[in-house]
Amino acid sequence: MAALWGAVILSGLYHGLNPGMGWPLAVSAGLMARRASALGQALALLALGHFVAMLAILLPFSAMATLVTYEVQIRAAAALAVMALGVYLLINRRHPRFLARVKPTHLALWSFLAAIAHGAGLMLVPIYLGLCAPEELDAGHRAAGELMAQTAGIALAVAALHTAVMALAGSALAIGVYRWLGLRFLSQGWFNLDAVWALSLILVGAIGLWTALW
């Protein structure tokens, strides 16, 4: 359990540091408005969108009573889906075009769509299913009801903790760039984590598959 919660925290840190999750947009908003409050507002909207995206992926699993009976199969399928997305992102390096059509003023919507498109929520599914530990419950209606109640709470906790760490990591980078490095850093010092992101999805999926089967 400690390792799984640690994975939630580490994935939040990783998502927060990844510029693909939007912290450069917050820096840009602050620099264009020439006030720190605009930076804070943008970071809050990005965190909100990311949190909703995590819940959109995790909550449906909390309503699955069949998780009691088919727990291994569902965890294995979720892990394979994460690995498949990682392989796809390694092959196709293009960013989703629809993200460019979302106005910068709609940062919460952009953050939600970016997290969905990059598989940020999907990465948490194998970890989340491992935290639910349905194998520890007795079979039957009581177990199903108890599991659904527990997993909904776990989904909220996972999404909240992950988003909090993501927001803190992204905010630290954004504030540093806004205060000291400036807009030139964004244009000249941009770093691309697409390949690392795709490989991390494959790794998380492989770990989820291993824990589900063995």
Give tens-digit pLDDT for 69-117. Answer: 677 787 788 888 888 888 888 887 676 665 655 565 688 888 888 888 7
Containing domain of residue 86, as a range? 2-213
Overall residue count recorded for the chain in this entry: 214
Whole-number Å distance between alpha carbons of 81 and 193? 20
How many C-beta atoms surround the C-beta of residue 196 within 10 A? 12
Direct distance between the N- and C-terminal alpha carbons of the chain, in angstroms, rounded to an integer: 16
Closest CA to 58 of 152, 150, 140: 152
Render the burial of 32-58: b for 16+ CB within 10 Å, e for the rest. eeeeeebbbbbbebbbbbbbbbbbebb
pTM of the shown model: 0.74
- Tell me the average pLDDT across 189-204: 72
What is the C-alpha to C-alpha distance for residues 44 and 166, in angstroms, rounded to an integer?
11
Per residue in 1-49, pLDDT (tens digit) is: 777 788 889 889 988 988 878 888 888 888 888 888 999 999 999 999 9
| Region 53-71 average pLDDT | 73
Contact call for residues 186 and 60 (beta carbons, < 8 A): no
Number of domains in the chain: 1
The closest alpha carbon to 111, from 18, 205, 8, belongs to: 18
Q: Which two tokens stand for residue 148?
A: 């659904």
Q: Which of 27, 22, 15 is nearest to 177 (CA)?
A: 27
Phi, psi (5° rounding) for residue 42? -65, -40
